[in-house]
């Protein structure tokens, strides 16, 4: 990616949207809206000082909401260009409140709250649509109780938990445990604040709050308004400390998730949603189970699926190696439902089709291998670019030429065309680039097929 950013023949228009495409194959005019970052790209060094000082924390979309980011942020580490962006919906300054801390701390003077969107037009010979995919929302399957049971997560959420740059720095902390730790942190803030107030009163009256409270309950200081306030503040402090101590005792027993269940075909191979196979999910689950075992050797993973589709070169060997060396068990069977047991442990009920029995098993975490769904906005983009979509809203192509859309000069690759894994996406991207290059180096103005 760094080579792409430095290449003299490649211009990156990040944080931009295509609004209009006009012209014919070999002679296309594309109108692009370059969104205001409120940060000057040519000045920003990506040092991150502004992010450290920003007081506004919001859920981090890149980490699937499992962690927080600031109102001024870099979408992900090592992105190109290496610059930050201010979220106008969250920034206090842009919402009319007094702040501007990022501008005060930025030594490069890159912050520009007056920046506006810009419209640019570019002339191109061909277009490649590579918009990727979205993750199927498993809350549409009520029997899996996603969002209801805390320790049921999607594969992409689990991926972020495994990542060293993720919200848990690569440790498999359970979401339910993280929620308790967040409560502890919040109560500790309240406790420190109330303790500070009590400290001033203790200094003023020359005794500890506990000693005072014992005397106060014994009937002393009747009618003393100052000590009445002290008693109220101490009672409020105790109302924070008691649950805080209980939560801390619970947290002492927390450990990383060691019993993992992977449920395949969540939304795919399902006539209620997407009847096709998403292709990469089986190997993705095997990979995640192997990495989890590398993080914690005691980890045991169970992968539930109708079958494991290891269709790529070396994939079958990889699957077998996971079972032999990474404590992975493959269960052929469709999971019927997930319920919540003791200690927020998900309980998986399934039919073992080999033994023809219905069984239940408790796990620390359940990971849902969700279907590959067409990306949001693809319908609007298809109208703008002038291409057709198939019945599932992937870009429609010819079976004999899978990178050619229904409009000449418009090509497609990756999961914008259909579900596929990384090696296949890379191969298809090379093919699409070659098809586009054919047009770019051999202009054919006589072509009559109009895009718009």
Q: Are the C-beta atoms of 30 and 124 separated by less than 8 Å?
A: yes
End-to-end CA distance of the chain: 32
- pLDDT of 7-28, one tens digit each? 888 999 999 999 999 999 999 9
d(CA 347, CA 366): 9
d(CA 360, CA 109): 60
CA distances from 356 to 267, 269, 304, 333, 337 (A): 24, 21, 14, 9, 17
d(CA 157, CA 262): 13
- pLDDT of 150-173, one tens digit each? 999 999 999 999 999 999 999 999
CA 218-221-227 angle, to 5 degrees, is 110
Tell me, what's the pLDDT at 445? 53
Sign, CA dihedral 345-350-353-355, equals: positive
Tell me, what's the pLDDT at 43? 94
Tell me, what's the pLDDT at 38? 97
Q: Does residue 448 carry a pLDDT above 50?
A: no
- pLDDT of 234-278, one tens digit each? 999 999 999 999 999 999 989 999 999 999 999 999 999 999 999
d(CA 243, CA 332): 44
- pLDDT of 46-69, one tens digit each? 999 999 999 999 999 999 999 999
Q: What is the mean pLDDT of residues 307-313?
A: 88
Length of the chain equals 452
Q: Which helix (H) or strand (E) covers residue 261, if one does?
A: strand 259-266
Q: Which helix (H) or strand (E) covers residue 244, if one does?
A: helix 225-251
Q: What is the pTM of this model?
A: 0.89
Q: Does residue 4 carry a pLDDT above 90?
A: no
Give Cβ neighbours of residue 149 (< 8 Å, ≥ 6 apart): 338, 339, 340, 344, 346, 366
- pLDDT of 208-236, one tens digit each? 999 998 988 888 887 788 889 999 999 99
Other CB atoms closer than 10 Å to residue 441's CB: what's the count? 8
Report helix, strand or coil for 254. Answer: coil
Report helix, strand or coil for 411. Answer: strand
Taking each continuous run of H as one helix and of E as one strand, the counts in the chain are 11, 19
**Token pair of 4, please?**
């792409």
d(CA 407, CA 404): 8
Four-point Cα dihedral 47, 51, 54, 55, nearest 10 = -150
Other CB atoms closer than 10 Å to residue 200's CB: what's the count? 9
């Amino acid at each position: 990616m760094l080579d792409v950013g430095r290449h003299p023949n490649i211009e990156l228009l990040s944080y931009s949207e295509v609004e209009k495409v006009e012209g014919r194959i070999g002679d296309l005019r594309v109108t692009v809206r370059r969104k205001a970052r409120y940060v000057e790209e040519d000045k920003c060094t990506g040092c991150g000082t502004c992010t450290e000082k920003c007081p506004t924390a919001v859920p981090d979309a890149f980490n699937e909401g499992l962690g927080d980011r600031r109102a001024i942020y870099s979408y992900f580490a090592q992105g190109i260009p290496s610059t930050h962006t201010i979220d106008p919906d969250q920034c206090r300054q842009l919402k009319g409140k007094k702040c501007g801390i990022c501008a005060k701390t930025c030594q490069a003077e890159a912050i520009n709250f007056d920046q506006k969107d810009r419209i640019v037009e570019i002339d191109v010979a061909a277009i490649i649509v590579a918009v990727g995919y979205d993750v199927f929302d498993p809350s549409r399957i009520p029997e899996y109780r996603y969002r209801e049971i805390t320790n049921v997560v999607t594969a992409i959420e689990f991926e972020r938990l495994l990542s060293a740059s993720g919200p848990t720095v690569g440790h498999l902390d359970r979401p339910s445990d993280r929620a308790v730790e967040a409560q502890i942190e919040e109560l500790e803030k309240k406790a420190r604040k109330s303790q500070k107030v009590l400290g001033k009163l203790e200094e003023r009256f020359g005794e500890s709050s506990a000693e005072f409270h014992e005397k106060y309950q014994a009937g002393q200081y009747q009618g003393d308004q100052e000590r009445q306030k002290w008693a109220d503040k101490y009672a409020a402090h105790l109302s924070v400390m008691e649950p805080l101590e209980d939560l801390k005792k619970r947290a002492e027993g927390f450990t990383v998730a060691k019993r993992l269940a992977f449920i395949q075909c969540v939304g795919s191979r399902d006539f209620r949603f997407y009847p096709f196979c998403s292709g990469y999910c089986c190997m993705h689950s095997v990979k995640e189970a192997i990495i989890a075992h590398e993080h914690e050797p005691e980890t045991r993973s169970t992968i539930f699926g109708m079958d494991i589709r290891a269709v790529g070169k070396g994939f079958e060997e990889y699957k077998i190696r996971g079972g032999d060396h990474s404590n992975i068990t493959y269960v052929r069977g469709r999971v019927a439902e997930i319920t919540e047991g003791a200690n927020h442990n998900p309980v998986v009920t399934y039919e073992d089709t080999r033994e023809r029995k219905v069984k239940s098993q408790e796990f620390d975490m359940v990971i849902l291998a969700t279907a590959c769904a067409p990306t949001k906005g693809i319908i609007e983009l298809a109208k703008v670019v002038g291409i057709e979509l198939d019945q599932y809203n992937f870009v429609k192509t010819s079976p004999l030429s899978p990178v050619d859309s229904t409009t000449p000069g418009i090509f497609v690759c990756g999961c914008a065309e259909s579900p596929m894994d990384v090696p296949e996406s890379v191969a298809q991207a090379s093919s699409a680039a070659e098809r586009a290059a054919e047009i770019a180096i051999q202009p054919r103005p006589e072509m009559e097929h109009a895009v718009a």
